Amino acid sequence: MPIPIFDDQISSDVENENDNDKGTPLVREFPPIEHFRIQNVPPAAYYIPDFITKEEEEYLLRKVEESPQPKWRKVGTGRRLQYWGGTMSKKGILLPEIIPDFLTSFPDIIERIESLLRDGSIKGKEKMGLDINQVLVNEYLPGQGISPHEDGPAFRPLVATLSLGYHTILDIHHYLNPTKPSPPMTSQVESDTESGKTIAAIPLAHLLLMPRSLLILKSSLYTSHLHSISSKEEDTIVHRTLSDSVSEDRIVKANGGVEIANMELLGDAEVIDSLKNTGEWTAKRDTRISLTFRQAEKVLKGGALGALSNALKR
């Protein structure tokens, strides 16, 4: 059911955000996080379809677009990004800033992510809690991507990415370990990273990220793997076993198509039907905005207070 609170009048009236006349936000119940675990990838990744509603998606897209121009930065390849919650010093310390209300209270995306993780913590086991203090916004136009990288040790190895606007495919890569035999799929060498480690030529897994979904990467998938998005204008996915009526020949012809690891969790009727009927699904990319929620481990002391007093002075 749509949340009846995101009309123009309300969203432009930022000062009154805590007033009751906005209606009561819908409390969404999610099954325990284990339900969303992606199988057959290193531990651990979780894919939650429809984590937000269409109305929330439109509202967030508008807020990102309306951000003051200086908030946008451009990286070498032309991709634009924004940081909310502060930027990192050269020494990997967060110089904190206040995170805007459209991510904290209206809608309460941060609390929703934190509570999903909190509720998923298994007693006596590794803590799943996250205290989100930075949100990275990436904008991808068709044909733009991000090359294989690690997000690095400055953050807790538990990050959540919300996709808005259009789909993309995130590739997971692993390093070739010279002391261990490579899996059969890693016979070619792609590139050497700054650390001198070599990345396997073929991604370990492909994850289809649909708009409004949340992807959580954790533990070794964060700390010892890389991720990337290829610079494409169109994606094709294939599935070999979903429908017996589609011949192997036909599927092989779906040029450049990839099999995705989060197929079982997609929950998208259009994609599943297409895979069942034709063995493939192809879609053009359009502008995708991603919001990556994470926790910098080190935060400049007194920084948040400073940021608050600055905000009050404005």
Ligand X SMILES: O=C(O)CCC(=O)C(=O)O
Site residues, Fe ion (CB under 5 A): 151
Q: Which is nearer to ligand X, 11 or 138 (CB)?
A: 138
**Binder of residue 290, out of Fe ion, ligand X, none (CB less than 5 to 8 A by kind):** ligand X
3-class SS letters over the chain: CCCCCCCHHHHHCHHHCCCHHHCCCCCCCCCCHHHHECCCCCCCEEEECCCCCHHHHHHHHHHHHCCCHHHCEECCCCCEEEEECEEECCCCCEEECCCCHHHHCCCCHHHHHHHHHHHHCCCCCCCCCCCCCEEEEEEECCCCCEEEECCCCCECCEEEEEEECCCEEEEEEEEECCCCCCCHHHCCEEEECCCCCEEECCCCEEEEECCCCEEEEEHHHHHCEEEEECCCCEEEEECCCCCCCCCHHHHHHCCCCECCCCHHHCCCHHHHHHHHHHCEEEEECCCEEEEEEECECCECCCHHHHHHHHHHHC
Interface of this chain with ligand X, residues 122 to 181, rule: CB under 6 A: 136, 138, 146, 151, 161, 170
Q: Check binding of 213 to ligand X (CB under 6 A).
A: no
> What is the closest distance, in whole angstroms, from the C-beta atom of residue 152 to ligand X in the complex?
9
Q: Which is nearer to ligand X, 220 or 241 (CB)?
A: 220
Q: Check binding of 230 to ligand X (CB under 6 A).
A: no
Residue nearest to ligand X (CB): 290
Q: Which is nearer to ligand X, 3 or 146 (CB)?
A: 146
Q: Which is nearer to Fe ion, 151 or 268 (CB)?
A: 151
> What is the closest distance, in whole angstroms, from the C-beta atom of residue 277 to ligand X in the complex?
29
Q: Check binding of 262 to ligand X (CB under 6 A).
A: no
Q: Which is nearer to ligand X, 104 or 290 (CB)?
A: 290
* Count of residues that interact with ligand X, criterion CB under 6 A: 9
Which positions touch ligand X (CB under 6 A)?
136, 138, 146, 151, 161, 170, 227, 290, 292
